Amino acid sequence: MSRPNLTTSIATRLVDLMRRTGLAEGAHVTEQWAADALEVSRTPVRKAMLFLADVGILDRIPNRGFFLARDASALTRPDLTDGEDVEQAAYFEIADDYVGGRFTGSFTATDISRRYRLTPRQAGRVLARMEAEDLVRRKTGGRGWEFQHVMATVEAHAQSYRFRMIVESAALLEPGFTVDTEAFARHRQQQEDLLHGDILLLPRAELFQVNASFHEMLVGCSGNQFLLDAVRRQNRLRRLIEYRHQIDRSRLTRQAREHLHLLDLIEDGRIEEASAFLHHHLDTVREIKTGPGHGA
């Protein structure tokens, strides 16, 4: 199964360390202490601490160092490794195997149970979750399962982003576009929460949903149901391949800040500027996720 990148991995381990040692809000967290406890060099530890400061878990004070921004007991453990949740680990392993081309064709619940070391009941719950998310479906006649048509190649992923660049930026320019004040406030809070720890702490599935629903909300404000249906379908298709990208969370602070900037532009009435910014935002993310070295 795919693993988080080094910065995300060390940041996660450091959160666990601070929880285990019971650090209180305001505790001084030194690079040397973290490096010694985690048995890694100070350079990757410093990058991880800068990331934790970027998402509001640590406070960075010039000439003094890093300090815990909240009581460590309030920090929950993200699902970046296999962890204790066997079903969650199997869910992402199945997704990763499918996207990686290691799991093709039809299959049964027994196949899932044997291949991913699950009890029959656990396999049933994993399949029920994947069915509810439109990732798999029962074969005609109800004997066995198969994957739905979902995105599993780099080129398809890139085409999806290019499609979204057209549809989402145009949605802001629809004559019926109207700001939903309540929805804007709710999504603003969610994006701010990402910048105050949720980028690291949320499970992958929930992190995907927060950002996917942000884009659906914007398109929904257009009043054009056809555009909204198109974006919702794209989000269903890209769910599995996007889960793979959620293992590297260090890049997501910029994405959250750009989402907040989009809300600012729209609420200020600068709709054409917002449309152009959204187009550029999606193009940048496309390049990050589908450029050289990011093959599925």
Range with the poorest average pLDDT among 1-5, 24-28, 97-101, 270-274: 1-5
Selected residue with higher pLDDT from 104 and 239:
104
CB burial of 9-29 (b: ≥16 within 10 Å; e: otherwise) equals bbbbbbbbbbbeeebeeebeb
**124-133, 175-184, 223-232: which has the minimum mean pLDDT?**
124-133
Indicate the range of 99-103, 199-203, 245-249 predicted with least confidence. 245-249
Q: Are residues 204 and 276 in the same domain?
A: yes
Check residue 80 and give its pLDDT. Answer: 44
> Around Cβ 219, how many Cβ atoms within 10 Å?
26
pLDDT tens digits, 73-125: 888 655 444 444 788 788 888 887 887 778 888 999 999 999 998 999 999 99
Position 161 in a domain = yes
131 touches 138 (CB < 8 A): yes
Last residue of a domain, one of 74, 106, 134: 74
Is 117 a domain residue? yes
Encoding tokens for residue 195? 């910048």
- State whether 134 and 11 are in the same domain: no
Number of domains in the chain: 3
Q: Which residue has the higher pLDDT, 157 or 78?
A: 157
Task: Give the residue from 168, 193, 113, 184 showing the smallest Cα distance to 286.
Answer: 168
Q: What is the mean pLDDT of residues 218-224?
A: 97
- What CATH number does the domain containing 40 carry? 1.10.10.10
**Tens digits of residue pLDDT in 178-197:** 999 999 999 999 999 999 88
Is the pLDDT assigned to residue 199 strictly greater than 50? yes
